[in-house]
């Protein structure tokens, strides 16, 4: 069953036609990935789904409800959260304050505490640094904090935008292991990632985006073995 469907959306930045009538779906419980080169429209697609941008035409449905053009905070309240590219932690606040902000729409104190324990189990380094100012964390730790903050809203669907960007290879592996763990715990994932090999290796379903168009789709394995994908994105 599809948790999210995007139907024929067109998105513009002024006169620039950034997304050209794309359609995609995200199956409940799985990992769907969107790969493509810089400027292909991957982040624009995520911003449109999460309500940060409005499509000119087309429809976005989340768990059977039309969310096209809904304000971003309302979409978060419905169970969809985004981990932005570049992490965007609140640099002058502590780790703990950042995590608290992730739960700002919630009032279920006991459950919030349970989720906080779960975040610290997934990211032990955040527990060690809970009183540290977020801007002083390393890039990898900030990525973990951005993911932890998104988990605090208890999303049923998490959008991840370039989680491995700028990280050392060992940390990239750790972040992908955690994405898999988040998914195994029951959260559906839509992943945008330039590290195509890593993204396709964990994805159930995958799409290739080129200059605002979807040019290929299939299972992660199919695209990993595709000659066109290997030539364009895997250095094959």
53 part of a folded domain: yes
Confidence of residue 102 (pLDDT cuts 50, 70, 90): very high
Best CA proximity match to 146, nearest among 137, 76, 39? 137
Domain-located, residue 200? yes
pLDDT band (50, 70, 90) for residue 61: very high
Domain coverage including residue 169: 2-86+149-233
Q: What pLDDT, on the 0 to 100 scale, is given for residue 115? A: 93
Asked whether the predicted pLDDT for residue 25 surpasses 70, the reply is yes
Cα dihedral sign, 14-20-21-26: negative
pLDDT value at position 88? 87
Q: Give the mean pLDDT of 161-188.
A: 92
Question: Total structural domains in the chain?
Answer: 1
Per DSSP (E only), the strands in 104-174 are 157-161
Confidence of residue 168 (pLDDT cuts 50, 70, 90): confident
pLDDT at 162 over 90: yes
pLDDT at 55 over 90: yes
pLDDT value of position 87: 76
Rounded mean pLDDT of 73-82? Answer: 93
Among 49-53, 96-100, 164-168, 225-229, the range scoring the smallest mean pLDDT is: 164-168
* The pLDDT value given to residue 193: 92
Residue 138 included in any domain: no
In a domain, 128, yes or no: no
Residues 82-92: pLDDT tens digits?
A: 998 887 899 99
Among 26-35, 169-178, 184-193, the least confident range: 169-178
| Calpha distance 42→46 (Å, rounded) | 7
Q: How far apart are CA 233 and CA 56, in angstroms?
A: 30
Confidence band for 163, pLDDT divided at 50, 70 and 90: very high
> Within a domain: residue 24?
yes
From the number of C-beta atoms within 10 Å of its C-beta (0-12, 13-18, 19+), residue 113 rates as exposed
Residue 163 lies in a domain: yes
pLDDT exceeds 90 at position 39: no
Q: Would 126 be classed as within a structural domain? A: no
pLDDT above 70: residue 236: no
CATH, residue 78: 3.40.50.300
Report yes or no: 38 and 193 within 8 Å, Cβ to Cβ: no
Write the pLDDT tens digit of every residue in 129-156. Answer: 999 999 999 999 999 999 999 999 999 9
Q: Among 15-29, 43-57, 61-75, 98-112, which is the least confidently predicted range? A: 98-112
In a domain, 46, yes or no: yes
Please compute Rg for the chain using Cα positions.
17
Q: What is the mean pLDDT of residues 21-45?
A: 95
Q: At what angle do helices 139-151 and 95-102 cross, to 10 degrees?
A: 30
């Amino acid at each position: 069953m599809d948790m999210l469907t995007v139907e024929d959306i067109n998105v513009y930045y002024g006169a620039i036609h950034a997304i050209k009538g794309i359609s995609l779906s995200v199956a409940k419980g799985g990992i769907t990935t969107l790969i493509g080169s810089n400027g292909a429209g991957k982040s624009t697609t995520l911003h449109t789904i999460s309500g940060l941008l409005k499509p000119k035409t087309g429809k976005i449905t989340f768990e059977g409800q039309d969310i096209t053009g809904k304000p971003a905070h309302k979409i978060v309240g419905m169970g969809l959260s985004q981990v932005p590219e570049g992490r965007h932690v609140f640099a002058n606040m502590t780790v703990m304050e950042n995590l608290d902000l992730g739960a700002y729409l919630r009032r279920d104190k006991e459950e919030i505490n349970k989720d906080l324990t779960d975040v610290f189990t997934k990211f032990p380094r955040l527990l060690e640094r809970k009183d540290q100012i977020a801007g002083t964390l390393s890039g990898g730790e900030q990525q973990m904090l951005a993911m932890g903050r998104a988990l605090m809203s208890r999303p049923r669907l998490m959008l991840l935008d370039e989680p491995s960007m700028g990280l050392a290879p060992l940390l990239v592996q750790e972040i992908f292991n955690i994405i898999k763990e988040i998914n195994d715990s029951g959260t559906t994932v839509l992943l945008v990632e330039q590290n195509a090999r890593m993204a396709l290796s964990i994805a159930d379903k995958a799409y290739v985006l080129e200059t605002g168009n979807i040019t290929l789709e299939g299972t992660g394995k199919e695209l990993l073995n595709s000659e066109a994908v290997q030539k364009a994105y895997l250095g094959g």
